Chains A and B, each alone.
Chain A
Amino acid sequence: MSGGLKIELGRRYRFSASHRLHNSKLSEEENCRIYGKCNNPYGHGHNYMVEVSVSGTVDPATGMIANLADLDSFVEREVIEPFDHKSLNEDVAAFRGNVPTTENICKEIFARLKHFPKAKLERVRVEETGNNTFEYAGEEL
């Protein structure tokens, strides 16, 4: 019974994109050994699921931490529109020189969403497939 109650809001979004795991600083053999199938030069794609968790005070007038319409439009603008149906390597500047593993995608999405003005970003969880999930909550994690 320590502390008051904390409320978080979780919202899931989806985008589909292609990527290739390749580090130009490594040799062809090393890339192949480390990344395996994911090193295919033509790339391959996934349906990604992004779960965004925010916290804050529940406004008694609206019953909300943040208006979902505001959260949805922010995530749409910052993440879905620039990532959906794109080649992450080619179309997203942050992944030039930064291998688009789901770990790095998670951190990039966190960086893009942490300035959401209406609530505190707690964490970002990304599923690359139903069997792989990655979570990032900023540097204190």
Chain B
Amino acid sequence: MVYLTRKLEFSASHLYHNPAFSAEENKRIFGKCNNPHGHGHNYTLEVTVAGEPDPVTGMVLDLKELKEILEQEITQRMDHRFLNYEVAELNGQIPTCENIARVIWNLLEPKISKGRLHKVRLYETPDLYADCYRNGAQGA
């Protein structure tokens, strides 16, 4: 098995707020991230696809194809957007790193035509990230 990883960056804003909580609870639980005007990050996404290289092309998955999938599914949907208001898949969810990583997984998994999606790692800052993978698949 070979694991290939492609990286991309996007910039977006978000805020953490749960309407089921009181204003005080929102402030206590989410702290600075509860600022009603939102705030932004430069996100770095690493997408890992696992598979055997095709004996003819030598590729697990054509990187051009992966790049196009990422452009369509992620960059166009999330780059320079306000995640709470402009990304339908996050509707009703707090756009934490954990939830965005899972949304990205669900967007990408059905689009990977060769190999299989192994891991999505989303950095919100260089010191904070979330990983999403299938149970039991952690490794590379």
A interface residues with partner B (beta carbon < 8 Å): 1-13, 53, 58, 60-65, 67-69
Flag if A11 contacts B135 (CB, 8 Å): no
Distance from B103 Cβ to chain A, minimum over Cβ atoms (Å): 11
User: Is the Cβ of B98 less than 8 Å from the Cβ of A63?
Assistant: yes
The interface-forming segment of B5-13, B49-57, B73-81, B125-133 is B125-133
A58 CA to B98 CA, complexed, in Å: 7
Task: Kindly report which residue of chain B lies nearest to residue A14, judged by CB atoms.
Answer: B127
With contact pairs A5-B133, A6-B138 given, residues A64 and B98 touching in the complex (Cβ less than 8 Å): yes
Please report the C-alpha to C-alpha distance between residue A101 and residue B136 in the assembled complex, in whole angstroms: 31
The answer to whether B18 touches A69, judged by C-beta atoms less than 8 angstroms apart, is: no
**A9 and B127 form a contact (CB under 8 A):** no
User: In the complex, what residues of A have CB within 8 A of residue B29's CB?
Assistant: 62, 67
Taking a contact as CB atoms under 8 Å apart, the answer to whether B101 and A7 are in contact is yes
Closest 9 A/B residue pairs (Cβ) = A63-B94, A3-B135, A63-B96, A12-B127, A8-B131, A10-B129, A63-B99, A58-B98, A6-B135
Q: Which residues of chain A come closer than 8 Å to B72, judged between CB atoms?
A: none
Measured in the bound complex, the distance between the Cα atoms of B130 and A57 in whole Å is 13
Given A8-B130, A10-B129, A62-B29, residue A2 in contact with residue B99 (CB < 8 A): no
Residue of A nearest to B130 (CB): A9
A53: chain B residues at CB < 8 Å are 131
Shortest beta-carbon distance from B83 to chain A in Å: 11
CA distance A12 to B98 in the complex (A): 16
Contact A2 B134 (CB under 8 A): yes
B16 with A7: CB separation less than 8 A: no
- B108 close to chain A: CB less than 8 A: no
Check B128–A10 contact: CB distance below 8 A: yes
Flag whether B118 is at the interface (Cβ < 8 A): no
**Minimal Cβ-Cβ distance residue in A for B20:** A61
With the chains together, A104 CA to B46 CA distance in Å?
A: 30
Kindly state whether residue B93 has any CB partner on chain A within 8 Å: yes
Among B29, B96, B126, find the residue whose CB has the most chain A CB atoms closer than 10 A: B96
CB distance from A104 to the nearest CB of B (A): 24
Is A6 a contact partner of B134 (Cβ separation < 8 A)? yes
Bound: A129/B126 CA distance, A? 17
Q: List 23 A-B residue pairs with CB atoms under 8 Å apart, sorted by A's residue number.
A: A2-B134, A2-B135, A2-B136, A3-B134, A5-B105, A5-B132, A5-B133, A5-B135, A6-B132, A7-B102, A7-B130, A8-B130, A8-B132, A8-B138, A10-B131, A12-B126, A60-B93, A61-B21, A62-B29, A62-B94, A63-B16, A63-B93, A64-B98
